[in-house]
Chain A
Amino acid sequence: EDQVTQSPEALRLQEGESSSLNCSYTVSGLRGLFWYRQDPGKGPEFLFTLYSAGEEKEKERLKATLTKKESFLHITAPKPEDSATYLCAVFVSGGYNKLIFGAGTRLAVHP
């Protein structure tokens, strides 16, 4: 069964304290991995798509990387406005356009 596991469940950082979020997956055939950001009371906001091992994408303080078993979302020198829940999702072959979401990591960045 295709599975996506995110860790940690929650992370508290001080402003400027860099860290990484993990998304590990066991799927039959990965066709893409997506990162989303979700603020309270809002819908998930698309951040990145990664398609193959070794690929990296960057946006401001965020960098997403992908290996054959997991993806990392690195947050460099975070600011309080980076506080949100970060969701990862996989798109699998034979999945008929379905995204399988992880449970998310709740990030809190304190000044």
Chain B
Amino acid sequence: DAGVIQSPRHEVTEMGQEVTLRCKPISGHDYLFWYRQTMMRGLELLIYFNNNVPIDDSGMPEDRFSAKMPNASFSTLKIQPSEPRDSAVYFCASRGSTGGNEQYFGPGTRLTVT
């Protein structure tokens, strides 16, 4: 399996611009998670989906953040408008319903907002 795929790997944008991060989960996995990682706060869960439905978005920091999962193989995390404090590495992870509860992470998108 190709693993979780994320794009872009790096994104540099100016404050106020819209940013869209993309994720393709592992085929057959029905849970998808979006995390943010910073030096100060470590890994934080932003939102997760089950069978394409958002289940818990309590970690989404502000209304500027939104996430969608239009089908089982694609999800987006959008920030509009972006701010410098959004600079972080954003990870997508997925897991299946059978077997263990371990999540498998993608390579991440490093976002820099200037």
Contacts and interface: CB of A to CB of B under 8 A. Distances in A.
Contacts of B103: 46, 99
B101 A49 contact: yes
B43 A96 contact: no
Given A97-B48, A97-B55, A104-B42, A43 B101 contact: no
Nearest to B105: A43
Q: Say whether chain B's binding surface is mostly helix, strand, loop, or mixed.
A: strand
What range describes how many residues of B lie at the interface?
A: 20 to 34
B100 interface: yes
A57 B108 CA distance: 28
Given A32-B101, A34-B102, A43-B91, A96 B55 contact: yes
Nearest to B39: A103
Contacts of A96: 55-56
Nearest to A91: B101
Interface string A21-42: 0000000000110101000011
A66 interface: no
Interface string B74-109: 000000000000000001010000001111111110
B4 interface: yes
B75 to A, nearest CB: 15
Interface of B: 4, 31, 42-43, 45, 48, 50, 55-56, 91, 93, 100-108
